[in-house]
Structure 1
Amino acid sequence: MNRIAFTLEDLQQEIAKTCAKGQIFQENVRLIAVSKRQSVEKIRNLAAQGQIDFGENQLQEALDKMSQLADLSLKWHFIGTLQSKKCKVIATHFDWVQSVDREKVAIKLHEARPTSMSPLNACIQVNYFKEPQKSGIEPNHVFELAQTINELPNLRLRGLMILPPKETEPNKQASNFAEISAFYQQLKQQLPTMDTLSMGMSGDYQAAIKSGSTMIRIGTGLFGTREELNRD
């Protein structure tokens, strides 16, 4: 088994230090362990230490893990590209979908979510910098999609999920995050029930937190190198 890069406790301490520097309450930052292509054993390891939220982007892989981990009370986040044909299964098995990027899939998720379950938490994936290789709705169409989701009772609009360009230069990295955060705050003024800005990963989560991220998605920084598992 590959070594976990950081223990959960180590990562939580680093998050706490970052929050303290920015005068941010640590409890306002939610850690998502991105477990795609990671073993069930590693997930159990983290769950035993108190980690609840896990992110997956391959549907069949996620369903297999859910079946094997059904004895645990975990929260599952779908963070992959949404295909219409898979919306029904996603809507019935996940607690969060962070990659809603068009009205069609929002409606399908709403229609498939059992009314016996709580509303599906939804984040809109925004391709803020309009990068052609990335999924997500363009910024000028976000409010319209947000309004649509707000009108679907089986969905609960939580906020935005954004993946900025990879940037190693600290000032540029901070500038990108600050621009995204300002966009989120502007949208939140119109939709005050939103409470989630999902941005920041293993290489940039500290800068993301300082800029107002409320949810960070950590994969290799927590698990180590990804393993090769069967995929969709």
Structure 2
Amino acid sequence: MSTTAGNLHLSLHDIQRFGPDPLNTFKANLVKVEERIVSACRRAGRDPRSVRLLPITKTVPAHILRLAFDAGIRNFGENRIQEAAGKRRVLGALPVEWTIVGHLQTNKVKYLTRFASAFHALDSLRLADLLNTRLERESRLLDVYVQVNTSGEESKFGLEPDALLPFIETLHQFPHLRPRGLMTIAPLSQDTERIRPCFRLLRRLRDEAVKRNPAIKELSMGMSSDFEQAIKDGADVVRVGQAIFGRRPTPDTDYWPNVVKR
């Protein structure tokens, strides 16, 4: 079955997951998400231009991402570096930016520094040092967000809140890293009393961190299930996947092993 995007053919599996017309589905979903962002900003008394949408494309096959590009998406957020690298090879010179949002093993640093423009899960000095060394070798810079474990769950990656400020003070040692802000993952819950403390804590930590490092300005927080609450609590970047691309075929634990139990 052909779509409106050139000679791309959809398999039965593609149609079952994304429908017969993924391009227009993605366009419509993108409009809905952007409208929700605008509405959430207005309720919070914020300028909608102050919030940036990062579409999360994990599990979406490379050939389908061509349709996401045709729908207007120019930044692909991926959890697994090897999956992102494979998609980039398939998509070739497609002019998109790649953002890695998941935990990065130190032996995968060399893959990230070759193409990613941003990394939302910096959580150790060793990782910062390895990234900086590779980036220096490749004459590149990388935007980074420091991940903080605001929920207190042992299963999550990220710095403990008390460790953040000392960590922030060391970032000047890594000139090829460009600190942009902080990132967190709230529990997947409909209970705002569980979610809000995580977002509020990250905001308080940012307010303290920016005094030590003025570049730490942004808050990367909020996903498909909670991004409106995150905006209310100050999010500058919201990471939205399923509200744009539909339900994933695998549970989140496949992409966040030992990180979140959902």
Instruction: State how far apart, in whole Å, the 2-side matches of 1:74 and 1:9 are.
Output: 19
CA contact (8 A) 2:148 2:160 kept: yes
Which amino acid in structure 1 is aligned with residue 122 of structure 2? V
Instruction: State how far apart, in whole Å, the 2-side matches of 1:72 and 1:143 are.
Output: 38
Percent identity (aligned): 28
Instruction: State how far apart, in whole Å, the 1-side matches of 2:81 and 2:180 are.
Output: 22
Pick aligned residue for 1:213 from 235, 239, 248: 235
Aligned length: 229
Q: Which has the higher contact order (CA 8 A, sep 6+)?
A: 1
- Alignment RMSD, CA only? 2.0
Pick aligned residue for 1:40 from 48, 62, 77: 62
Residue 127 of structure 1 and its aligned partner are, at CA, apart by 0.8
Which structure: larger Rg? 2
CA contact (8 A) 2:224 2:239 kept: yes
Residue 141 of structure 1 and its aligned partner are, at CA, apart by 1.1
Gaps of 5+ in 2: 1-13, 19-24, 256-262
Residue 122 of structure 1 and its aligned partner are, at CA, apart by 0.8
Within-5 A mapping of 1:1-232: 1=14, 2-3=17-18, 7-114=29-136, 117-227=139-249
Which amino acid in structure 1 is aligned with residue 128 of structure 2? A
Instruction: State how far apart, in whole Å, the 2-side matches of 1:110 and 1:162 are.
Output: 22
Which amino acid in structure 2 is aligned with residue 148 of structure 1? T
> Secondary structure, in 3 states, of the residue corresponding to 1:165?
coil
Residue 166 of structure 1 and its aligned partner are, at CA, apart by 2.6
Length-normalised TM-score, structure 2: 0.81
Residue 189 of structure 1 and its aligned partner are, at CA, apart by 2.6
Instruction: State how far apart, in whole Å, the 1-side matches of 2:157 and 2:244 are.
Output: 25
Gaps of 5+ in 1: none
Residue 170 of structure 1 and its aligned partner are, at CA, apart by 3.0
Instruction: State how far apart, in whole Å, the 2-side matches of 1:23 and 1:42 are.
Output: 36
Residue 152 of structure 1 and its aligned partner are, at CA, apart by 1.0
Which amino acid in structure 2 is aligned with residue 78 of structure 1? I
Instruction: State how far apart, in whole Å, the 2-side matches of 1:36 and 1:104 are.
Output: 26
Length-normalised TM-score, structure 1: 0.90
Residue 197 of structure 1 and its aligned partner are, at CA, apart by 0.7
Bigger mean CA deviation after superposition, 193-202 or 33-42: 33-42
Instruction: State how far apart, in whole Å, the 2-side matches of 1:46 and 1:198 are.
Output: 22
Residue 149 of structure 1 and its aligned partner are, at CA, apart by 2.2
Instruction: State how far apart, in whole Å, the 1-side matches of 2:201 and 2:133 are.
Output: 34
Cα deviation, 1:5-56, whole Å, max 9, x if unaligned, reads 8611111111111111112122221111111111223322222232222111
